[in-house]
Structure 1
Amino acid sequence: MRTALRLSHLSALLLTTLLLLCTAPTHAIKFELQAYRYPPAKCVWNNAHAGALVIVTANVGPGDGQRVDIEIVDSGPEKNVYLSKRGINGEARFAITAHTDEGDVGVCFKNYLDVAEGGQTRKRVIDLDVDIGADAVDYNAIANQESLSALETEMRKLEGVVKEIVDEMNYLKKREERFQSTNMSTRKRVQKFAWFTLVALICLGVWQIFHLRAFFKRKYLID
């Protein structure tokens, strides 16, 4: 009896570990952003499906004579702009919901240099964390709000992870169906073009025969 119980606990632990390994990790990056009068955008891109919660935490280091702007966009066909804010300092936290399945969500920064501070290379250090999907949910706040036990909180986390995995599988299935439809459409177009080429060559060959025959008759080379 104890052996069966231990096996049951081991199976549950193994399943939990596998589910946690399948989750999207937290994307953290730290970099220096140089200031310019007309700065280019430095973007960090992450994959996020439609309906996914995205939490962006940016910690901007100190820097005199500089202004850091942030913009959250996606690379989908509609080029959605979720957020645009100027002059962020210190730690800033933003939450958005992705709207596209056709592209990634990007967090873009620009570091503007004050004209009066020109002639010197200036930089600001940015520490960026991007949490997507189940990683973006604050389960501790949910547990406090709904008075959940530790076990219930873990089950809620696993429920979110499983839902994310199911959504990912459905997304991959839709992509496979779309690719298959595109493949079939391309095959039909290639077949139609091949038949058109064949018919055109036959018609051209017949026309050449009649044309040459008429030419030879005019020259009295054949009867």
Structure 2
Amino acid sequence: MASRGTLSFLLFVLLAPFVAAIKFTLPPGRVPAPKCIWNAVHTHALVIVTANVSPGPGQRVDIEIIDSTPQRNVYLSKRDINGETRLAVTAHAEGDVGVCLRNWLSPDVKITMAQNMSRTVDLDIDIGVDAVDYNAIANQESLSGLETEMRKLEGVVKEIEDELEYLKKREERFAITNLSTNRRVQNFAWFTLFSLIGLGVWQIFHLRAFFKRKYLID
């Protein structure tokens, strides 16, 4: 019994960084600015977005899931979400995935009335291991509670290994960049030194020729 409690506590500590929950209000507008929530993800990571939108007459909430790559990939776009909406995407690249929401004001509603209107959004974003439905896996494979906890822990360890591998690759890229930068700085320093020496030698000969023309030296 104690071992299960220890495992549960360990899972909670390890899984906490992979869960994002936020509640906010969206004011309506004719051309509303998007409200985006960004989270860092790894390639092929599963992202589960659960949006619970409160009712609001004369308003339409649209949701869009994008990434931060230069291509600005749009994973999913859905119009007029109401109540609880659950969406799932898989990240294509390393970087940030953003969940963007807009609250559009209906054309038949006066813009002056929009000041007293809004819709509340309760947003949950599960990433990686926490996005996996282990209860369904346990029912499908007839796993015990301890086996389910161990399966979760295995997923957490795998995700930590992927994170460490990613950090290792980033460190290697930074090391290569630092070496390249140091080499360029060193080459520039040598170029500057030789340029100053060359300029000094040229000035000496130039002044020597000038003084000879003025018969100041032999």
SS at match of 2:55: coil
One-letter amino acid matched to 2:84: E
Matched, 1:22 2:14: yes
TM-score, normalization by structure 1: 0.89
Deviating beyond 3 angstroms after TM superposition, the runs of 4 or more aligned structure 1 residues are 12-20
Percent identical residues:
67
Could you give the per-residue CA deviations for residues 136-177 of structure 1, whole angstroms, max 9, x where no partner exists?
000111112222222221221111111111111111111111
Unmatched 5+ stretches in structure 2: none
One-letter amino acid matched to 1:152: E
Matches of 2:122 and 2:91, distance apart in 1 = 22
- Structure 2 residue aligned with 1:82, among 49, 71, 75? 75
Aligned residue pairs, count? 214
Could you give the per-residue CA deviations for residues 68-102 of structure 1, whole angstroms, max 9, x where no partner exists?
1111111133322111111111111111111222x
Matches of 2:128 and 2:20, distance apart in 1 = 12
Matched, 1:216 2:208: no
Larger deviation, residues 127-136 vs 174-183: 174-183
- Structure 2 residue aligned with 1:109, among 69, 88, 101? 101
Do the aligned residues in 2 keep the contact of 1:19 with 1:162 (CA within 8 Å)? no
- Structure 2 residue aligned with 1:42, among 30, 35, 40? 35
In structure 2, the residue matched to 1:161 is 156
In structure 2, the residue matched to 1:132 is 127
In structure 1, the residue matched to 2:147 is 152
- CA shift, 1:57, in A, is 0.4
Matched, 1:33 2:26: yes
Matched, 1:64 2:57: yes
In structure 2, the residue matched to 1:3 is none
Matched, 1:191 2:183: no
Task: Output the aligned Cα RMSD.
Answer: 1.9
TM-score, normalization by structure 2: 0.91
Matches of 1:36 and 1:126, distance apart in 2 = 16
One-letter amino acid matched to 2:54: G
SS at match of 2:47: strand
Matches of 2:6 and 2:206, distance apart in 1 = 80
Matches of 2:70 and 2:13, distance apart in 1 = 31
Matched, 1:94 2:83: no
Unmatched 5+ stretches in structure 1: 1-5
Matched, 1:175 2:174: no
